[in-house]
Amino acid sequence: MSFLNKFLLLLQCLVLSFTCLSAQKMSRAEYIERYKYIAIEQMKSHAIPASIILAQACLESGDGNSTLAKQANNHFGIKCHNWKGDTFLHTDDAKNECFRKYKNPEESFRDHSEFLRYRERYQSLFDLNPTDYKGWAHGLKKAGYATNPNYAQLLIKIIEDYSLFKYDYIKTILPPSPAVIIDEKIIAQESGKSEYHFTLSRVLLSKNGVLFVVAGQGESYSSIAAEFNLFTKELLKFNDLKQEIPLKDGTTVYIERKRREGDKNLSKHIVEKGDSMYEISQKYAIKLNRLYKINGVKNGYEPNEGDQVKLR
C-alpha cells in the first residue's frame, strides 16, 4: 500500500472516529426532546413543574452526557443516602463518592421526584403555584439542593432559553387520579397503588372532574392528607382553607385542585338560605378566588337568598 493510500485511510478513520464521537454527544435540545414526556409524567404524579425537572436534569447530567448519566442512568446526581439499590462510585466533591445507580432513566426521574416530594425540607415548594418555576428554582437553592450560589439562576436560564415553562401549562390533574371515574360513579380502590395509600373501605367520587372523598367520623384534614400521601397544607389549599379546622362527618374533601369554572352543563347557582360563596365553591368544585372573579365581586362577598351566582 502506498504512502498516499495509507494517509488517506488514516484520515478516513480519523473522520469516522470524530463523527462517532460527535454523534454520541447529545445536545441540550435533543436531551429535552427525548426526556420531556418523562418529565411531564412526573409532573402529573408528583406535582413538580416539568420545567424544573427538565432544567435540573439538563444541568445535573450535562444534557445526558455525564459519566453518571451514561453509566449509572443517574440524571440528577443523587448520592446514595440510605439507598438499598445498586450503586456507582464516582469522583465528585470527593474521591469515589457513592451515587445511586438505576436500571433506566425513567427510574432516575421517578426517584428524583420522590426525593423532593417526601423530604421535609422541600415541603414548602409544594405550596407554590405549579407554574411558578422561578419560585421553585429559588426554593430548591434555599432548601440546599445544590451548593452553587447561582443554581437558581442557572435553572431559570435553561427554562427560559428553551421555553420549558410551556410544559407546565399542559392540562394535568395534580396529583393524578388513582382510579378511573366514569359518569361520577363511585369506584372502589384497588390495593397496591404506588402513588397513594388507601384503606380498602375508602371510595372516591368525582365532581366537575375533581376527585373528592367524604369525611368520616373522627377524621381530620391531616389524617386524610396522610392517607393520600399529600401535605396537609396542600390538601387545605385544594379546599380553599388557610389553616386546619375541625372536620365534620360527611364533609366533602377534595384531594386534587378544583377547577377554574363549573361544569359546562351548569352556568349558575340560585342561592338558598345559608349558602356562602365558600359552600358554593365546594359544591361545584370551583376555586373560591375564581368564583369571586367570575361574578365580578371582591373576596369576602356573600350573596343573598335568591341571588344568582355564575359558575362559569
pLDDT band at 35 (very low <50, low <70, confident <90, very high): very high
User: Residue 137 CB: number of other CB atoms within 10 A?
Assistant: 25
Question: Exposed, middle or buried by CB within 10 Å (0-12, 13-18, 19+), for 174?
Answer: middle
Asked whether the beta carbons of 134 and 156 are under 8 A apart, the reply is: yes
Edge to edge, the sheet with strand 187-188 lists 187-188, 203-207, 210-214, 252-254
Indicate whether 5 pLDDT > 70: no
Indicate whether 19 pLDDT > 50: no
pLDDT in tens, 278-298: 988 998 899 999 999 989 988
List, in order of start, the domains of the chain with CATH numbers: 28-169 (1.10.530.10), 187-254 (no CATH), 268-310 (3.10.350)
pLDDT confidence of residue 73: 94
As a whole number of angstroms, the distance between CA 83 and CA 93 comes to 19
Which cell numbers in the block locate residue 201?
373501605
Indicate whether 204 pLDDT > 90: no
pLDDT band at 202 (very low <50, low <70, confident <90, very high): low
As a whole number of angstroms, the distance between CA 277 and CA 82 comes to 48
pLDDT in tens, 129-185: 888 999 999 999 988 888 788 999 999 999 999 999 999 887 654 444 333 332 333
- Alpha helical stretches, state H, 85-220: 105-117, 133-143, 151-161
pLDDT confidence of residue 203: 72
Asked whether the beta carbons of 252 and 240 are under 8 A apart, the reply is: no
pLDDT in tens, 213-255: 888 888 889 888 888 888 888 889 999 998 888 888 888 899 8
pLDDT confidence of residue 36: 92
pLDDT confidence of residue 190: 34
Indicate whether 196 pLDDT > 70: no
pLDDT confidence of residue 121: 81
